[in-house]
Amino acid sequence: MRRVFLIFAVFFLISCRVDISDFKSSNLNFLDRLGFEVFGGTFFVEPTRVTMKEIHLDNGALKGHSVVVEGKVVQLSKYSTFIVLADETGKILVVVTELNSIDIAHFFSKDKETVLSLTVLGTLETGKKGVPYLMAKAIRQS
Protein backbone atom coordinates (compact mmCIF):
# COMPACT_ATOMS: atom_id res chain seq x y z
CA MET A 1 0.00 0.00 0.00
CA ARG A 2 2.85 2.38 0.78
CA ARG A 3 4.41 1.71 -2.63
CA VAL A 4 1.20 2.52 -4.45
CA PHE A 5 0.83 5.75 -2.48
CA LEU A 6 4.46 6.64 -3.17
CA ILE A 7 4.03 6.05 -6.92
CA PHE A 8 0.90 8.24 -7.05
CA ALA A 9 2.63 10.96 -5.05
CA VAL A 10 5.61 11.00 -7.43
CA PHE A 11 3.34 11.16 -10.48
CA PHE A 12 1.34 13.95 -8.88
CA LEU A 13 4.46 16.00 -8.18
CA ILE A 14 5.81 15.42 -11.69
CA SER A 15 2.49 16.37 -13.28
CA CYS A 16 2.50 19.65 -11.37
CA ARG A 17 5.93 20.52 -12.79
CA VAL A 18 5.39 19.47 -16.42
CA ASP A 19 3.54 21.76 -18.81
CA ILE A 20 1.23 19.50 -20.84
CA SER A 21 1.20 21.91 -23.81
CA ASP A 22 4.94 21.37 -24.30
CA PHE A 23 4.42 17.63 -24.16
CA LYS A 24 1.64 17.75 -26.73
CA SER A 25 3.42 19.98 -29.19
CA SER A 26 6.64 17.99 -29.41
CA ASN A 27 5.90 14.38 -28.57
CA LEU A 28 2.49 14.08 -30.16
CA ASN A 29 3.75 15.57 -33.43
CA PHE A 30 6.59 13.06 -33.35
CA LEU A 31 4.15 10.19 -32.81
CA ASP A 32 1.92 11.42 -35.64
CA ARG A 33 4.90 11.67 -38.02
CA LEU A 34 6.12 8.22 -37.05
CA GLY A 35 2.64 6.74 -37.41
CA PHE A 36 2.20 8.30 -40.84
CA GLU A 37 5.58 7.11 -42.12
CA VAL A 38 5.09 3.56 -40.84
CA PHE A 39 1.34 2.91 -41.00
CA GLY A 40 0.04 5.66 -43.29
CA GLY A 41 -2.19 7.21 -40.63
CA THR A 42 -1.95 9.52 -37.64
CA PHE A 43 -2.81 8.94 -33.99
CA PHE A 44 -3.82 12.36 -32.69
CA VAL A 45 -4.41 14.69 -35.66
CA GLU A 46 -7.14 14.08 -38.23
CA PRO A 47 -5.74 15.42 -41.49
CA THR A 48 -7.95 16.09 -44.50
CA ARG A 49 -7.15 14.14 -47.68
CA VAL A 50 -7.32 16.61 -50.57
CA THR A 51 -6.43 16.80 -54.25
CA MET A 52 -4.38 19.53 -55.88
CA LYS A 53 -7.53 20.98 -57.43
CA GLU A 54 -9.19 21.31 -54.01
CA ILE A 55 -6.09 23.08 -52.67
CA HIS A 56 -5.92 25.58 -55.52
CA LEU A 57 -9.67 26.28 -55.49
CA ASP A 58 -9.78 26.63 -51.70
CA ASN A 59 -10.91 29.99 -50.33
CA GLY A 60 -8.61 29.86 -47.31
CA ALA A 61 -10.48 27.32 -45.17
CA LEU A 62 -7.63 24.80 -45.38
CA LYS A 63 -4.86 27.30 -44.52
CA GLY A 64 -2.95 26.16 -41.44
CA HIS A 65 -4.69 22.77 -41.31
CA SER A 66 -3.10 19.35 -41.62
CA VAL A 67 -3.72 17.79 -45.02
CA VAL A 68 -2.66 14.66 -46.86
CA VAL A 69 -1.74 14.99 -50.53
CA GLU A 70 -0.82 12.23 -52.95
CA GLY A 71 1.00 12.73 -56.22
CA LYS A 72 3.92 11.91 -58.44
CA VAL A 73 7.33 13.55 -58.01
CA VAL A 74 7.88 16.00 -60.86
CA GLN A 75 10.90 17.91 -59.58
CA LEU A 76 13.42 17.69 -56.76
CA SER A 77 15.44 20.73 -55.77
CA LYS A 78 19.20 20.70 -56.07
CA TYR A 79 19.74 20.73 -52.30
CA SER A 80 16.66 18.61 -51.43
CA THR A 81 14.79 21.49 -49.80
CA PHE A 82 11.60 21.11 -51.82
CA ILE A 83 9.83 18.78 -54.20
CA VAL A 84 7.03 19.39 -56.67
CA LEU A 85 4.17 16.90 -56.64
CA ALA A 86 1.60 16.58 -59.39
CA ASP A 87 -1.59 14.65 -60.01
CA GLU A 88 -4.14 14.81 -62.81
CA THR A 89 -5.56 18.11 -61.56
CA GLY A 90 -2.49 20.22 -60.75
CA LYS A 91 0.88 20.67 -59.06
CA ILE A 92 1.97 21.81 -55.61
CA LEU A 93 5.24 22.85 -54.02
CA VAL A 94 6.16 20.74 -50.98
CA VAL A 95 8.76 22.28 -48.66
CA VAL A 96 10.72 19.52 -46.91
CA THR A 97 13.14 21.55 -44.79
CA GLU A 98 11.48 20.38 -41.55
CA LEU A 99 12.27 16.75 -42.36
CA ASN A 100 15.75 16.34 -40.99
CA SER A 101 15.59 12.62 -40.27
CA ILE A 102 14.82 11.52 -43.79
CA ASP A 103 16.81 11.57 -46.98
CA ILE A 104 14.56 13.05 -49.65
CA ALA A 105 16.84 12.08 -52.55
CA HIS A 106 15.94 8.39 -52.36
CA PHE A 107 12.30 9.26 -53.17
CA PHE A 108 13.37 10.68 -56.52
CA SER A 109 14.25 8.18 -59.21
CA LYS A 110 17.59 8.60 -60.96
CA ASP A 111 16.27 7.38 -64.29
CA LYS A 112 13.65 9.68 -65.74
CA GLU A 113 11.39 6.83 -66.88
CA THR A 114 10.36 5.76 -63.37
CA VAL A 115 8.21 8.35 -61.59
CA LEU A 116 7.66 7.76 -57.89
CA SER A 117 4.36 8.40 -56.17
CA LEU A 118 4.40 9.93 -52.68
CA THR A 119 1.87 10.62 -49.98
CA VAL A 120 2.69 13.71 -47.92
CA LEU A 121 1.34 14.80 -44.54
CA GLY A 122 1.78 18.51 -43.99
CA THR A 123 0.39 21.89 -43.12
CA LEU A 124 -1.06 23.99 -45.92
CA GLU A 125 0.41 27.50 -46.06
CA THR A 126 0.02 30.46 -48.39
CA GLY A 127 3.00 32.08 -50.06
CA LYS A 128 3.42 35.28 -52.02
CA LYS A 129 0.47 36.30 -54.16
CA GLY A 130 -1.73 33.74 -52.38
CA VAL A 131 -0.15 30.68 -53.97
CA PRO A 132 -0.53 27.66 -51.67
CA TYR A 133 2.34 25.38 -50.68
CA LEU A 134 2.69 22.46 -48.30
CA MET A 135 5.08 22.34 -45.31
CA ALA A 136 5.79 18.61 -45.08
CA LYS A 137 5.74 16.86 -41.71
CA ALA A 138 6.07 13.29 -43.00
CA ILE A 139 6.46 11.54 -46.34
CA ARG A 140 5.41 8.04 -47.31
CA GLN A 141 6.01 6.26 -50.59
CA SER A 142 2.73 5.18 -52.21
Q: What was the pLDDT predicted at 84?
A: 92
Among candidates 120, 47, 35, which has minimal Cα distance to 82? 120
User: pLDDT (tens digit, 9 = 90+) per residue, 90-121?
Assistant: 999 999 888 764 566 666 556 555 667 899 99
Question: DSSP assignment of 79-141, as one string?
Answer: TSSEEEEE-SS-EEEEE-TT--SS-GGGGS-SSTT---EEEEEEEEEE-GGG-EEEEEEEEEE
| Domain annotation for the chain: domains and CATH numbers | 2-39 (no CATH), 48-141 (2.40.50.140)
The pTM assigned to this predicted structure is: 0.75
Pairing of the two strands 82-86 and 132-141: unpaired
Q: Does an H or E element contain 48, and which? A: strand 48-49
Task: Tell whether the model's pLDDT for residue 68 goes beyond 90.
Answer: yes
Q: What was the pLDDT predicted at 18?
A: 45
Q: Does an H or E element contain 31, and which? A: helix 29-39
The percent of residues in the chain predicted with pLDDT above 90, rounded, is: 27
